[in-house]
Chain A
Amino acid sequence: MFVAKINVTLKESVLDPQGQTVLRTLHDQGKGQIQDLRVGKYIEIKLKTSSLQEAETIAKEICESVLVNQVIETYKLVVEAQ
């Protein structure tokens, strides 16, 4: 069994109003050290495949066809044996 851990965030060039709102709140609380903050989503997929390579290929295909809209989002994918 393999597990694909996927982090999806808006591209740097896309305004993240949710992140900006959270950032403003933290600044209001005196956390001026925080330079930037972006809100994303985390998706975990369990895969039953014969190899890590196959799991990675399937997970990447799922990311690019379904989970991520590459017009506005970017993602980081890590696949691990479980």
Chain B
Amino acid sequence: MKVRVVTFPGSNCDKDVGSVLKDYFQAEVKYTWYKESFDDVPDLVVLPGGFSFGDYLRCGAMAKFSASMESVVQYANKGGKVLGVCNGFQILTESGLLPGALLHNRTLKYICKDVELVPVKENIFAKNFQSNLSIPIAHGEGAYFADGETLERLEKNGQVVFRYEENPNGSLHDIAGICNEKGNVLGMMPHPERAMNPFTGKMDGKQILEALLKN
């Protein structure tokens, strides 16, 4: 299985997600610098967490203009599988691959803790999860926002993947993660790659990546 992890200036979870994909899924991981474009067809492209371009102007706003993102958009439009985690989710909304936007947490506090995620049964990725998942979040701007019409469409199409059991940040409809209409682009604020090492006692992230890779 071939995976590309795109690294932007300020990404800091690229090696984390790359190493768990290597260690637990035997993936062949290539790190793609934001200035590089690609035209091969990997099995998955990951936009990792971090603070791309220092989160200046808006989180993810600068990243969308990079050469690698042009390739990611083309790859996604052809049905390629893309996962955006945290800052990666913000980049996906800024680049228009996912609807909506991420706002400052309602409390204005940076939140770093484990949260309980409720998989949404109507969603293609989440339908086979048997129970809630415990996954860490670490963000200052993770409150999902979309206008009423977009939220209604997301709900109707089963595009909401995960909701928070207890909403930590003010996300509308308690949304923690969504996918696009075709179901090949997934964005989420929680970090599944941080819940995949038995030493930490947290393994629920593995189920998320398994579901994504099998789908």
Is the pairing of A and B real? yes
Contact in complex: A69, B145 (CB < 8 Å): no
Q: Is B202 an interface residue (CB 8 A)?
A: no
Q: Is A3 an interface residue (CB 8 A)?
A: no
Q: Of the 9-residue stretches A11-19, A30-38, A49-57, A74-82, which lies at the interface with chain B?
A: A11-19
Chain A interface (Cβ within 8 Å of chain B)?
10, 13-15, 17-18, 21, 66-67, 69, 71-72
Interfacial chain A residues near B107, Cβ < 8 Å = 17
Contact in complex: A15, B57 (CB < 8 Å): no
Contact in complex: A72, B145 (CB < 8 Å): yes
Contact in complex: B57, A71 (CB < 8 Å): no
Q: Is B76 an interface residue (CB 8 A)?
A: no
Given A15-B106, A69-B94, 4 further pairs, Cβ under 8 A: A13-B147, A14-B145, A15-B170, A71-B147
Q: Is B203 an interface residue (CB 8 A)?
A: no
Q: Is B146 an interface residue (CB 8 A)?
A: yes
Q: Is B61 an interface residue (CB 8 A)?
A: yes
Q: In whole angstroms, how far apart are the Cα atoms of A15 and B170 in the complex?
A: 10
Chain B interface (Cβ within 8 Å of chain A)?
57-58, 61, 65, 93-94, 99-101, 103-108, 145-147, 170
From known contacts A15-B170, A66-B61, infer whether A72 and B104 are also in contact, taking CB-CB under 8 Å.
Answer: no
From known contacts A15-B170, A66-B61, infer whether A71 and B145 are also in contact, taking CB-CB under 8 Å.
Answer: yes
Chain B contact residues: helix, strand, loop or mixed: loop
Q: In whole angstroms, how far apart are the Cα atoms of A71 and B102 in the complex?
A: 10
Name the one of A14, A21, A67 contacting B108, with C-beta atoms under 8 angstroms: A21
From known contacts A14-B145, A15-B170, infer whether A71 and B100 are also in contact, taking CB-CB under 8 Å.
Answer: yes
**Nearest CB on B from A76, distance (A):** 17
**Nearest CB on A from B115, distance (A):** 19
Q: In whole angstroms, how far apart are the Cα atoms of A71 and B103 in the complex?
A: 11
Interfacial chain A residues near B106, Cβ < 8 Å = 15, 17
**Nearest CB on B from A7, distance (A):** 14
5 interchain pairs, CB-CB under 8 A: A17-B105, A18-B104, A21-B108, A71-B93, A71-B147
Q: In whole angstroms, how far apart are the Cα atoms of A21 and B107 in the complex?
A: 9
**Nearest CB on B from A45, distance (A):** 13
**Nearest CB on B from A61, distance (A):** 14
Contact in complex: B100, A67 (CB < 8 Å): no
Report which residue of A14, A15, A71, A72 has the largest number of chain B beta carbons within 10 angstroms of its beta carbon: A71
From known contacts A17-B106, A18-B108, infer whether A71 and B61 are also in contact, taking CB-CB under 8 Å.
Answer: no
Interfacial chain A residues near B61, Cβ < 8 Å = 66, 69
Q: In whole angstroms, how far apart are the Cα atoms of A71 and B107 in the complex?
A: 21
Interfacial chain B residues near A72, Cβ < 8 Å = 101, 103, 145
Which residue of chain B is the closest to A72 with respect to CB atoms?
B101
